[in-house]
Structure 1
Amino acid sequence: MKINWGTGIVIAFALFMSFILYFVFEVQSNSKYDNDLVVEEYYKHDSHFQEEMARIQNAHDLQQRPSITYTDNQGVKIVFPAGFESDKVKGNILLYRPSNKKFDFNTAIALTNSSLVIPENKLVKGRWDVNMEWQYNGKKYLTKEVIYVN
């Protein structure tokens, strides 16, 4: 049987469509390809955006800001300026892993000598987004940093 060029184009098109559909179904059904949202309640989170921007601006307006750094032998070290009274700082720290939400965790701020250390054994290698929501003297602040764990 001889196939003309029109039939060949139709067969090639059908094979290409089958190929694409196979991969779409494979990605949707296989748990290895996790395609969750970044935030569970996206619209609820987005409605508080202006408040978040005000807290970020409050933190930016400080003359002395807390520093968030990663050191190989300790982990993530958060140091507040000496002018802050440690017992008046309240809040929590969210360590967010963009590649896998299973590693995300929260830590309450409990300062020792105006600093806080998150041990290295709690952290997996790679990128971490650190969101520190804190309050000092009744004013709310939000500090966001990106760190890389080696």
Structure 2
Amino acid sequence: MVKTFTQKEYEFDLVSNQYYEDELAFQKTINNAENTEKLENKVEFVLLNNELKINIPNAKNELIIGEIHFYRPSNKKLDFIKKIASKNNVLTFTSEELVKGRWDVSVTWYYENEPQNQFFKKEQIYF
């Protein structure tokens, strides 16, 4: 004999009340990452001489528009976002901006003449 019980006082909470919108945003991020993989030249994260250089491919020398999110897992007070609006495809960050340790860095961007094609790259770095 097997008997099952249900607890009527148990509350079922969703992780997010906007789960549909969250799923669409997540799918967009996946699509943007797939677009990035199709690029002929790849995004590069280069650590050298106390600097982080992020190289975004820009073969047509177009205006790059987007954001770079710097997430510090050990201290959310250090998190910050840097806006991008430049033809310069090499973005440099120094020890004045980045404390030593682990950072999760994500770059989202598009080219001015192709706003429908968005790109995404995430990298874990140790500065």
Shorter-chain TM-score bucket reads: 0.7 to 0.9
Q: Are residues 86 and 115 of structure 1, via their aligned partners in 2, closer, same or farther at CA, if it must alter by over 3 Å? A: farther
Which among 110, 120, 123 is matched to residue 135 of structure 1?
110
TM-score calculated relative to the size of structure 1 = 0.63
Contact 1:69-1:147 at 8 Å conserved across structures: no
Q: Give the C-alpha shift of residue 143 in structure 1.
A: 0.6
Contact 2:107-2:121 at 8 Å conserved across structures: yes
Contact 1:86-1:114 at 8 Å conserved across structures: no
Alignment-derived partner of residue 37 in structure 2: 60
Q: Which runs of 5+ in 2 are unaligned?
A: 1-14
Q: Which runs of 5+ in 1 are unaligned?
A: 1-41
Contact 1:95-1:130 at 8 Å conserved across structures: yes
Alignment-derived partner of residue 122 in structure 2: 144
Q: Give the C-alpha shift of residue 111 in structure 1.
A: 3.9
What is the one-letter code of the residue matched to 2:53? Answer: K
CA-to-aligned-CA distance 1:53-90 (integer Å, 9 cap, x gap) = 111111111111221222233x2111133514242x10
The runs of 4+ residues in structure 1 deviating greater than 4 Å are: none
Q: Which has the higher contact order (CA 8 A, sep 6+)?
A: 2
- Higher Cα radius of gyration: 1
How many residues were matched structurally?
106
TM-score calculated relative to the size of structure 2 = 0.73
- Alpha-carbon distance in 1 for matches of 2:49, 2:126: 11
Q: Give the C-alpha shift of residue 120 in structure 1.
A: 1.8
Q: Does residue 123 of the first structure (1) align with residue 98 of the second (2)? A: yes
What is the one-letter code of the residue matched to 1:122? Answer: E
